[in-house]
Structure 1
Amino acid sequence: MLYVPGCNQHYLDRARTLAADSVILDLGDPILVDAKIQSRENVVNAVKQGGYGKREVVIRVNDLHSLWGHDDIQAVANIGADAILFPNIESREDVLQAQQLLDDAGGKDVPMMVMIESPLAVLNAKEIAAASERIICMVMATSDLISQLHARVTHERSAILTSLSLVILAARAYGKGVIDGITSDFKNMHSFEYACRLGRDIGMDGKSLVHPAQIAYCNDAYTPQRGEVQHARLIIKALKEANEGGRGTVVVNDKLVEHHHIKAAQRLIQLAEAIAELEEEFI
């Protein structure tokens, strides 16, 4: 998920050509006060113009308590975005307020995403995830979280592993997607690649990015490899044959396979197929 600043028309146009699965057209904190109104107009025009293909188009509005949040929602609620991303969500009440404002602006059918960026939000991740069926994804704001934890950025990401895991648990418990936070040092690809693979391995669905140079590394980390897909198909076939023969488990490549492995294998295959379909557009 690539953040694209609404204040920069060139970036909004270029995002139509990049191999990102999702673009977050950003009206939020990175936009200078003097550029807030123009950014809103740019994003509205960009979404109405279209051209983003199969990429998911998400709009991040300003904080609901800011001078621009309510007007942002009024402007973008029903222009055709795939979802609206609400920052600084810390409670069930915050979710319901955001949803009501979106509904009142004509966006009753528009999916919501919520940003988890504070210690309180992490501790309330369960109630946030459970607050509304309209929430489709929880997006980590790890840079904000590290600052509020008075922690330090390290290669191993040790300061936020507990927080990431708590939000993943909440997301999975209530059927939401969950996206890792940014890596702001976009020239340190070694740490970025490590962060992508760590996020993938602990259960993240993807990672938010701040620079196009990060896209290829992120796509490589989160795209199932051919061998993984072949293995997934193999264990589905092997357990099916075992079940037909009256056995509830089977050993594949020296590993025990049970029913829950089938669900994971099916998800991996579906993910690979969805990525392949999307990548046809990038070729």
Structure 2
Amino acid sequence: MLYVPGCNRHYLERARTLHADSVILDLGDPILVECKEESRANVVEFVNQGGYGAREVVVRVNDLDSPWGSDDIKAIAQTKADAILFPNIESKEDVDLALNELDQAGGGDLPIMVMIESPIAVLNAKEIASASDRIACIVMATSDLISQLHARVTPERSAVLTSLSLVILAARAYGKAVVDGIASDFKNMHAFEYACRLGRDMGFDGKSLVHPVQIAYCNDAYTPKVTEVEYAIEIIKSLKAANESGKGTVVVNDRLVEHHNVRAAERLLKLHEMILELEAKYE
């Protein structure tokens, strides 16, 4: 998920050509106060024009209690955006308030995404994830979280591992997608690649990005490799054959395979097919 500043028309145009699965057209904190109104107008124009192809188009609005939040929602609710991303969600009450504002603006059918960026939000992750079926995705704001934890950024991400795990647990418990936070140092690609693979291994569905140079590294980390696809196919075939012969488990490549492994393999194959479909549309 690539953040694209709404104040920059060149970036909004360029996002239509990048190999990102999702673009977040941003009206939020990174936008200067004097550019807020212009950014909103730009984003409404570009979203309604379309041209983003198969990419998911998400708009991040300003905080609901800011001078711009309500006007952002009223404007975006009438566009062709795929979802609205609400920042600083810390409770079920925050989710209810966001949905109420969106419904009143005419966006009653629009999915939402929510950002978790504070210690209290992490502790309330279960409450937030279960707040509404309209929550399509939970997005981590790790930079904000690290600041509020009074922690430091390290390659191992040790300061936020517990927080990340708690949010992943809540997302999985309630069937929500969950996306890792940004890496603001977009020149240290070694650290970024490690962060992508760590997030993938923890269970994230993807990662939010701040620069196009990060896209290829992120896509590589989250795209199933040929060997993984082949292994998934073998798992499904082998356990099916074992079941037909009266066995409940089977060993594949020296690993015990059970039914939960088949479900994971089926998910990987579905992900593989979706990525192939997206890549074909980029060409």
Same fold by TM-score, threshold 0.5 exceeded?
yes
Q: Which residue of 2 aligns with 1:101?
A: 101
Which runs of structure 2 are paired with 1:1-283 in the superposition (5 Å)? 1-283=1-283
Could you tell me how far apart the structure 2 residues matched to 1:70 and 1:54 are?
28
Deviations 1:95-125, CA, capped at 9 Å, x for gaps: 0000011111111110010000000000000
The answer for unaligned runs of 5 or more in structure 1 is: none
Could you tell me how far apart the structure 2 residues matched to 1:103 and 1:232 are?
42
Could you tell me how far apart the structure 1 residues matched to 2:122 and 2:93 are?
15
Deviations 1:170-225, CA, capped at 9 Å, x for gaps: 00000000000000000000000000000000000000000000000000000000
Could you tell me how far apart the structure 2 residues matched to 1:100 and 1:229 are?
43
TM-score by length of 2: 1.00
Amino acid at match of 2:270: Q
Deviations 1:124-169, CA, capped at 9 Å, x for gaps: 0000000000001000000000000000000000000000000000
Could you tell me how far apart the structure 2 residues matched to 1:136 and 1:125 are?
14
Could you tell me how far apart the structure 1 residues matched to 2:97 and 2:165 are?
26
Could you tell me how far apart the structure 1 residues matched to 2:115 and 2:159 are?
19
Could you tell me how far apart the structure 2 residues matched to 1:82 and 1:172 are?
22
Give the deviation of 1:281 after TM superposition: 2.0
3-state SS of paired residue (1:136): strand
Could you tell me how far apart the structure 2 residues matched to 1:133 and 1:78 are?
21
**C-alpha RMSD of matched pairs (Å):** 0.4
3-state SS of paired residue (1:276): helix
Could you tell me how far apart the structure 2 residues matched to 1:83 and 1:47 are?
11
Could you tell me how far apart the structure 1 residues matched to 2:96 and 2:54 are?
29
Could you tell me how far apart the structure 2 residues matched to 1:115 and 1:109 are?
20
Q: Which runs of 4+ in 1 moved over 2 A?
A: none
Amino acid at match of 1:13: E
Could you tell me how far apart the structure 1 residues matched to 2:43 and 2:254 are?
53
The answer for unaligned runs of 5 or more in structure 2 is: none
* Percent of aligned pairs sharing the same letter: 75
Amino acid at match of 1:204: F
Aligned residues: 283
